[in-house]
Amino acid sequence: MDDFEPIKKHFAKYIELTSEEEARLISFFKVKNVRKKQMIVQPDFTCKYRTYIVKGAMRAYLADDKGQTHTIAFAIEDWWISDFNSYINQVPATLFVEALEDTRVIQIDYHSEQLLMDTIPKFERFFRIAAQQSFAFLQKRMLSNLSKTAEERYDEFFQKYPSIVNRVPQYTLASYLGFTTEFLSKIRSRKK
Amino acid sequence: MDDFEPIKKHFAKYIELTSEEEARLISFFKVKNVRKKQMIVQPDFTCKYRTYIVKGAMRAYLADDKGQTHTIAFAIEDWWISDFNSYINQVPATLFVEALEDTRVIQIDYHSEQLLMDTIPKFERFFRIAAQQSFAFLQKRMLSNLSKTAEERYDEFFQKYPSIVNRVPQYTLASYLGFTTEFLSKIRSRKK
DNA sequence: AAATAAAGTTGAACTGGTTCAACTTTATTT
DNA sequence: AAATAAAGTTGAACCAGTTCAACTTTATTT
């Protein structure tokens, strides 16, 4: 299964596994193909899987009462995505996770993950590091939202993730950065 | 040392320790008293400690180029605080962490924490859970900032943390919620 | 207890970003 | 290839929250 190469390398960045341990890990993986616009997580259903993207792009978002959506995360190749709160606490989701392109993912379910951590402490380390990095990342984003203007946030994102900017619909990017799609259009038009 | 009771209970919420393991943990703790307005973390210095509050209140904030401050976190009794990015990656801090009252803290330094995790996997579990909960918490806050008005965010905070509202300076709360201290004053005045 | 500094309030003028609606362009379906 | 739907653009009117400045109240220092 060549699909597993990138995720093996991904784990190897943080922990060193024996080939038995790696085989154990991989035995829990399920490959899945998701068509563009399909949802893999929906409000009220508990999120069973942690999802790794092999190929494609997704976003997690909140739909508010006024019909607007608010993107909490994008994910492309070699990133994880889910309704994280729902997944780690095994409570009903509040978010949607939708494919922005036809996407191939690898999923591990909650109980397998617990089992891995219970039996092989290295996996506990892996998920600790992952959570800590995610937290640090989100703190930076929060501070950026608190301290910068819309245009500054757009520039920052553009510089940090140029590949995402031209890959996702503009309204999803605007909703991630915290302003309207119309305003993003205006920011862009005054740049050229 | 009666100061250690709350933090022992805190660890016990997530992991069960033998008395030897607990003794090992406590041997790494250092108690410190911090006077109001004193800083325990400053930009450019690498954050050496993870800090637990025994008694008192602190905030972590970013000071921007325009002289404004942006509060990324409050902490009171039984909470942790630090420049988390600086601490976990051992890179220079960008934030200040300041005491909002005379505060008594317990600190563990980075290398001791690593040593604990290397020798006793339960500690790896503890810090994994801590990081996951922090991440889930911050995601909720981020979504609240993306989807709600200033007044709605204030109401939500007030309902969730009534004890903090009347304990910290109003300008720190405004800067946490993402608006000005003047506007918070106006929100409050139109409530009575 | 007086003096001073820091925090909080109020109002008037302002602005960064929103809303709404009409239109154009790009993607998807038939 | 045409038809339709979805995404992106533009402008005008608007508003949620900011800015600035003067003032009042509460803490802190002497």
Contacts of B93 in chain A (CB under 8 A): none
Residue B192 confidence (pLDDT) above 90: no
Encode burial over B157-183: b for 16+ CB neighbours within 10 A, e otherwise: beeeeeebeeebeebbbbbbbbbeeee
B46 vs A61: CA distance, rounded Å: 35
Asked if residue B160 lies in contact with residue B154, where contact means CB atoms within 8 angstroms, the answer is: no
The answer to whether the CB of A81 falls within 8 A of the CB of A185 is: no
**Please, which residues bridge with residue B104 across strands?**
B33, B55
Give the whole-angstrom CA distance, residue A174 versus residue A112: 36
**Least CB-CB distance to A142: which of B89, B117, B141?**
B141
CB contact set of B147 (below 8 Å; sequence gap of 6+): A62, A64, A68, A70
Q: Cα separation of A42 and A64, whole Å?
A: 14
- Average the pLDDT over A48-58 and give the result: 98
CATH architecture classification, A2-120: Sandwich (2.60)
Helix (H), strand (E), coil (C) string for A37-75: CCEEECCCCECCEEEEEEECCEEEEEECCCCCEEEEEEE
What is the tens place of the pLDDT at every residue in A56-69?
Answer: 999 999 999 888 99
CB contact under 8 A, B89 and A136: yes
Q: Band of the pLDDT at A103, cuts 50, 70, 90?
A: very high
Q: Is the dihedral of CA B5, B7, B13, B14 positive or negative?
A: negative
Distance (Å) from CA A140 to C1' D8? 29
Q: Do B178 and A146 touch (CB under 8 A)?
A: yes
Q: Is the pLDDT of residue B35 over 70?
A: yes
Least Cα separation, residue A65 to chain B (angstroms): 10
pLDDT of A2: 84
B81 φ, ψ to 5°? -150, 155
The rounded distance, in Å, linking the Cα atoms of B90 and A132 is 13
Percent of chain A past pLDDT 70, that is, above it, reads 99
**Whole-angstrom distance, CA of residue B46 vs CA of residue A150:** 30
Q: Is the CB of B130 under 7 A from strand D?
A: no
Indicate whether B170 pLDDT > 80. Answer: yes
The structural architecture, per CATH, of the domain B2-119 is Sandwich (2.60)
Residue B101, judged by CB atoms within 10 A of its CB (0-12, 13-18, 19+), counts as middle
CA of B35 to C1' of C2 (A): 26
- End-to-end CA distance of chain A: give it in Å, rounded: 46
Mean pLDDT in chain A?
97
Q: Is the Cβ–Cβ distance between A104 and A118 less than 8 Å?
A: no
pLDDT(A156) > 80: yes
Please name which of A88, A98, A85 lies closest in space to residue A42, comparing C-alpha atoms: A98
- pLDDT of B153: 98
- Predicted pLDDT at B191: 80
Suggest the residue from A90, A110, A143, A175 to mutate for an interface test with chain B (most B CBs closer than 10 A): A143
Parallel, antiparallel, or unpaired for β B80-81 and B30-34? unpaired
- Between chains, do B85 and A117 touch, taking CB under 8 Å as contact? no
pLDDT value of residue A191: 79
- Mean pLDDT over B64-69 rounds to 92
Amino acid, res. A53: I
Instruction: Give per-residue pLDDT as tens, A16-32.
Output: 999 999 999 999 999 99
Q: A162 to chain B nearest CA, in Å?
A: 22
**Could you check: is the Cβ of residue B182 within 7 Å of any atom of nucleic acid strand D?**
yes
Q: Is A145's pLDDT higher than 80?
A: yes
Provide the residue count of chain B: 192
Predicted confidence at residue B1, as pLDDT, reads 62
Average pLDDT of the segment spanning A149-153: 98
What is the structure's pLDDT at B141?
98
Q: What is the pLDDT of residues B101-123, one digit of tens each?
A: 999 999 999 999 999 999 999 99
Contact criterion met (CB < 8 Å) for B146 and A84: no
pLDDT number for residue B138: 98
- Residue to mutate among A64, A68, A132, with most B CBs inside 10 A, is A132
User: What is the band of B2 on the pLDDT scale with cuts at 50, 70, 90?
Assistant: confident
Q: Is the pLDDT of residue A48 over 70?
A: yes
For residue A1, pLDDT beyond 80: no
Q: Report angle CA B144, A111, A18 to the nearest 5 degrees.
A: 110
Report DSSP letters for chain A, one per residue.
Answer: -GGGHHHHHHHHTT----HHHHHHHHHT-EEEEE-TT-EEE-TTSB--EEEEEEES-EEEEEE-TTS-EEEEEEE-TT-EES-HHHHHHT-B--SEEEESSSEEEEEEEHHHHHHHHHH-HHHHHHHHHHHHHHHHHHHHHHHHHHHS-HHHHHHHHHHH-HHHHTTS-HHHHHHHHTS-HHHHHHHHHTT-
CB atoms within 10 A of CB B135: 23
